[in-house]
Amino acid sequence: MQVPAHFEYERATSVEHALDLMGRWGDGARLVAGGHSLLPMMKLRLARPEALIDINDLTELDYILVDGEELAIGAMTRHRDLLRSALVAEHYPIFRDAERVIADPIVRNRGTVGGSLCQADPSEDLSAAFAAVDATAVIRGTGGTRTVPVREFHTGPYETVVAPAEMLVEIRVALRPGGGSAYEKVERRVGDWAVAAAGAALWLDGDLGDSGGAGTVRDVGIGLTAVGAAHFHASEAEDFLRGRPATEENFAGAARIAGANCEPSADQRGPVDYKRHLAGELTARALRRAAARARGSEA
């Protein structure tokens, strides 16, 4: 039987209450949301918090809405709701693509968006998707609220910029016209962690689709997971593509750069060269699909 070691349990009734409890418990406390990463780690003694602060009652953080020119996603949004959101699918289908391949439907019922980001697993999917769209994390502490680009949110495996007395409360993504986005993942079996995965968001200028050509890449974001890309992000590949025509040739060029610049580790999911190849190939596929969506030729 696998059960966690002893811990104290507190249940927060509001964000303020959660912050107050964290202040009282200090470094030994961990927030628990869906618990689908933290509890397994506690069973294996890979995590051993002194106290768990349960934030599942904080429905105030469970929302997806458009706020001004941004999509705002509450940290307690369950994976299932991100997957099912018509608003998300309309603006950023990358999240629908990613959510379809995150764990399984029953785990998605419980797991949360904020929990996934804060767990900071180096193979986590949403971290790459949020990096691709250049999202902003909203972090609250007793002293107030601060924002951090998701591309600076992760400081290493299982480490983030969120301080012990702070919590992630929201993720914001700018709504920009003329864009398309997509996520491509290879996994050993359905619901597994990625062998490698890539997310792409791009914004095109020029005559598109039926009326014109491929378009020019006004801006692009590329996220990678499970391949040791710093901050889940392929910045060199983005720099290459920005300002170039959105053609297969240029996508292949960006893909080569993405594959060359990541640092995968060999493990039971595959050797380094295979993962590097996948990082490139999946980058190309994600760019292709994102471009098709930007041109309106694919849903």
Partner 1 sequence: MRITVNVNGVDHEREVSNRTLLVHFLRDDLGLTGTHWGCDTSNCGVCTVWLDEVPVKSCTVLAVMADGHRVRTVEGLANGAELDPVQQGFVACHGLQCGFCTPGMMMTGRALLNENPDPSEAEIREAISGQLCRCTGYENIVRSIRWAAQFEAAARATTNETAEVAQ
Closer Cβ to partner 1, 6 or 210, answer by number: 6
Closer Cβ to partner 1, 190 or 299, answer by number: 190
Closer Cβ to partner 1, 99 or 238, answer by number: 99
Stretch binding partner 1 (CB under 8 A), from 103-111, 119-127, 164-172, 283-291:
103-111
Footprint on residues 109-148 left by partner 1 (CB under 8 A): 109-110
Binding residue (CB under 8 A) for partner 1 from 66, 87, 106, 260: 106
**Tokens found for residue 108:** 């998605």
Min dist CB 60 to partner 1, Å, is 17
Residue 127 and residue 225 in contact, taking contact as beta carbons nearer than 8 Å: yes
Q: Please give the span between the terminal C-alpha atoms of the chain, in angstroms, as a whole number.
A: 46
Q: Is 9 in the site for partner 1 (CB under 8 A)?
A: yes
Amino acid at position 240, single letter: F
Query: From residue 201, how far is each of 10, 94, 192, 256 by CA, in Å?
Result: 40, 8, 24, 17
Q: Is 11 in the site for partner 1 (CB under 8 A)?
A: yes
Closer Cβ to partner 1, 43 or 256, answer by number: 43
Closer Cβ to partner 1, 39 or 72, answer by number: 39
Min dist CB 44 to partner 1, Å, is 9
Footprint on residues 34-53 left by partner 1 (CB under 8 A): 35-36, 39-40, 43, 52
Footprint on residues 180-199 left by partner 1 (CB under 8 A): 190-191
How far is it, in rounded angstroms, from Cα 153 to Cα 160? 6
The string of DSSP letters for 204-273 reads EESSBGGGSBS-EEEEEEEEEESS--GGGB-HHHHHHHTTSB--HHHHHHHHHHHHHH-----BTTB-HH
Please, is 105 exposed, middle or buried when counting C-beta atoms within 10 Å of its C-beta (0-12, 13-18, 19+)?
A: exposed
CB contact set of 207 (below 8 Å; sequence gap of 6+): 213, 215
Name the site residues for partner 1 (rule: CB under 8 A). 1-9, 11, 32, 35-36, 39-40, 43, 52, 54, 56, 103-107, 109-110, 190-191
